[in-house]
């Protein structure tokens, strides 16, 4: 943004602040609970502006689909260089906009650089190549091509705005699609800056367009986007409740979606675990970015034999382990978290709190039971529940009974046993002797059950945004 306190939209390479005379953009304040947003406004898209942005993407697709993979690789390498050059500036912006720690902002930037470079490397690795299957007629030849879908709608959340904004766009664009990035009303400055970097890296106008809208216009804008004939696929990262609505409307228009949704992520601490390491990693997984990560550790299940020692270490290390707790994003979130704690206490839970010097405190909820709202609801805040188990089978059952299935952890010195148990957990990823919060550009990422479906990351992410076409040459 230049000399402006208003975050624009980007449509076909042009910043849009005012819309048109017939359909002016409305201004809204991003997250009024964040003091650093004073004086900051965002241009809110209308359904008509959404349509305009989609049609720009459709126009760009006509030529972008035929661009050479080597050119796409060059542009993504340019993007990685720009991210490196602006690393400090972007980190500061993220810290201000989502009230996070310097560490979380740095992770966002470093992981985004890694993602851009991974996409650049993957696009010429053969992932776009087709096949020539052998068919019955020896005189005929079959070829299976991989082709892009067209216009993809990418909807990104606020809690890791740079990396998840880039993830919503990168593989789809590298596969030959064009993307309309719909940013979060909580982090429009970061999402706009990301879209602007695509321009600066040399991507043609319309290959990546950017919109945001006020919370009040969410339903009408999404309907205008998902119903448009040019939009062929959607990816969404966010809550399960909103993801369900996205899936329902996409299904009505028979459009495929990739969904990375919420999680109720558990860490299992076995009797033979390195307890010091387990406590450190559980606290990191629970409280990084104030627990506002889809992979955050919500529950730790501890073997009865080591329960007392684990509890003692957990409380000893709670203060130091809470250094990544800064702020909860909004008053609405704080109220929801307080309600979960209150309900748990009313139903018999004990609590231990570590004051952090901010408006957010890290809280351990002891003696959690399935009767508490916290047991099944994603906390998405600095809460960690603890429950003891007698048998490993009981721990596996507790994890698999959850409606979610995103990420988990197992702590044990017996790697073979931990691997066998990990294979029985119904979730997208299991981390042995590490935190539930872990993802890399070279790995597939996604969940099961109410944590969504589909995968981001590496060649798995490319495959989500490619479709096959079979051509048979008959004699």
pTM score, whole prediction: 0.95
pLDDT at 64 over 80: yes
Q: Which residues are catalytic?
A: 260, 294
Report d(CA 126, CA 111) in Å as an integer: 23
Report d(CA 468, CA 61) in Å as an integer: 18
> Measured in Å, how far apart are the chain's first and last C-alpha atoms?
59
Q: Could you count the other beta carbons within 10 Å of the beta carbon of residue 460?
A: 16
- Hey, what's the torsion of the CAs at 230, 235, 239, 244, to 10 degrees? 60
The position carrying tokens 């139903």 is: 347
pLDDT at 2 over 70: no
Give the pLDDT of residue 3: 44
Look up residue 383 and give its two tokens. Answer: 């809460």
Provide the pLDDT confidence category of residue 26 given band limits of 50, 70 and 90.
confident
pLDDT tens digits for range 334-376: 999 999 999 999 999 999 999 776 778 999 999 999 999 999 9
Which residues face 366 on adjacent strands? 350
**If you average pLDDT over residues 31-54, what whole number do you get?**
94
Look up residue 295 and give its two tokens. Answer: 């992979």
Give the pLDDT of residue 355: 78
Give the pLDDT of residue 359: 72
The reply to whether 266-442 shares the fold of 5-261+450-473 is no
Architecture of domain 5-261+450-473: 3-Layer(aba) Sandwich (3.40)
Give the pLDDT of residue 25: 66
pLDDT tens digits for range 111-166: 999 999 999 999 999 999 999 999 999 999 999 999 999 999 999 999 999 999 99
- Is it true that domain 266-442 has CATH number 3.10.180.10? no
pLDDT tens digits for range 256-280: 999 999 999 999 999 999 999 999 9
Extended strands (E) in 156-213:
178-182, 208-211
Go through 300-322 and write b for each residue having 16 or more CB atoms within 10 A of its CB, e for each that does not.
Answer: bbbbeebbeebbebbeebbeebb
Look up residue 129 and give its two tokens. Answer: 């190549």
- Mean pLDDT, the chain, whole residue set: 96
Q: What ranges do the domains of the chain cover?
A: 5-261+450-473, 266-442
Give the pLDDT of residue 134: 96
Provide the pLDDT confidence category of residue 24 given band limits of 50, 70 and 90.
low
pLDDT at 21 over 70: no
Beta carbons of 70 and 124 less than 8 angstroms apart:
yes
Report d(CA 372, CA 239) in Å as an integer: 20
DSSP state of 34: -
Instruction: Please enumerate in sequence order all residues whose Cβ is within 8 A of that of 5, keeping only pairs 6 or more positions apart, or say none.
Output: 39, 40, 41
Provide the pLDDT confidence category of residue 215 given band limits of 50, 70 and 90.
very high
The two most distant CA atoms of the chain are separated, in Å, by 77
């Amino acid at each position: 943004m230049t000399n402006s306190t208003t975050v624009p939209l980007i449509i076909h390479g042009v910043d849009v602040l005012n819309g048109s005379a017939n359909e002016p953009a409305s201004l809204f304040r991003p997250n009024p609970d964040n003091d650093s947003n004073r004086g900051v406004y965002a241009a809110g898209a209308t359904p008509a502006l959404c349509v305009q942005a989609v049609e720009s993407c459709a126009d760009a697709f006509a030529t972008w689909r035929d661009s050479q993979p080597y050119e796409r690789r060059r542009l993504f390498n340019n993007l990685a260089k720009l991210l490196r050059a602006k690393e400090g500036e972007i980190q500061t912006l993220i810290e201000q906009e989502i009230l996070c720690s310097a560490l979380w902002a740095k992770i966002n930037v470093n992981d985004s650089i890694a993602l851009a470079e991974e996409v650049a490397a993957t696009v010429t690795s053969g992932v776009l190549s087709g096949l020539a299957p052998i068919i019955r007629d020896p005189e005929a030849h079959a070829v299976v091509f991989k082709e892009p879908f067209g216009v993809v709608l990418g909807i990104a959340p606020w809690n890791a705005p740079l990396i998840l904004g880039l993830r919503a766009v990168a593989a789809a664009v590298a596969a030959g699609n064009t993307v309309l990035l719909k940013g979060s009303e909580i982090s429009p400055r970061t999402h706009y800056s990301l879209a602007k970097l695509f321009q600066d890296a040399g991507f043609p106008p319309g290959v990546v367009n950017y919109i945001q809208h006020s919370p009040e216009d969410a339903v009408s804008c999404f309907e205008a986007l998902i119903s448009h004939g040019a939009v062929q696929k959607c990816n969404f990262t966010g809550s399960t409740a909103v993801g369900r609505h996205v899936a329902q409307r996409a299904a009505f228009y028979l459009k495929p979606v990739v969904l990375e949704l919420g999680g109720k992520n558990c860490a299992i601490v076995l009797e033979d675990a390195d307890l010091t390491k387990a406590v450190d990693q559980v606290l990191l997984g629970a409280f990084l970015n104030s627990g506002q990560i889809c992979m955050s550790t919500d529950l730790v299940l501890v073997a009865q034999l080591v329960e007392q020692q684990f509890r003692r270490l957990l409380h000893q290390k709670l203060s130091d382990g809470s250094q990544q707790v800064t702020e909860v994003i909004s008053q609405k979130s704080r109220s929801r978290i307080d309600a979960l704690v209150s309900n748990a206490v009313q139903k018999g839970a004990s609590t231990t709190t570590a004051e952090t010097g901010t408006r957010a405190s890290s809280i351990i909820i002891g003696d959690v039971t399935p009767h508490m709202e916290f047991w099944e609801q994603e906390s998405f805040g600095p809460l960690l529940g603890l429950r003891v188990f007698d048998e490993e089978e009981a721990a596996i059952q507790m994890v698999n009974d959850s409606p979610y299935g995103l990420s988990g952890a197992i702590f044990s010195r017996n790697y073979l046993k931990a691997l066998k148990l990990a294979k029985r957990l119904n979730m997208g990823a299991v981390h042995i002797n590490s935190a539930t919060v872990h993802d890399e550009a070279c790995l597939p990422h996604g969940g099961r059950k109410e944590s969504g479906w589909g995968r981001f990351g590496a060649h798995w992410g490319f495959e989500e945004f490619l479709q096959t076409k079979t051509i048979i040459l008959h004699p």
